[in-house]
Amino acid sequence: MIGVVASLKVQPDKTAEFEAVFLDLAAKVKANEPGAIVYQLTRSKTEAGVYKVLELYASADALKHHGGTDYFKAAGAAMAPFLAGRPEIEYLDAVE
The radius of gyration of the chain from alpha carbons, rounded to an integer in Å, stands at 13
Q: Within positions 59 to 88, which residues make up the interface with a second copy, using CB under 8 A?
A: none
Indicate whether 14 belongs to the interface with a second copy (CB under 8 A).
Answer: no
CB of 80 to a second copy, least distance (A): 18
Query: 10 Cβ partners below 8 Å, 6+ apart?
Result: 18, 49, 50, 51, 82, 83, 84
Indicate whether 22 belongs to the interface with a second copy (CB under 8 A).
Answer: yes
Query: Quick one: which segment of 28-36, 45-53, 63-71, 73-81 binds a second copy (CB under 8 A)?
Result: 45-53
Q: Between 70 and 93, name the residue whose CB sits nearer to a second copy.
A: 93
Q: C-alpha distances in angstroms, 76 versus 46, 58, 96?
A: 25, 22, 31
3-state secondary structure of 85: coil
Which residues of this protein are in contact with a second copy, per CB under 8 A? 1, 3, 5, 19, 22-23, 38, 40-46, 51-52, 54, 56, 90-96
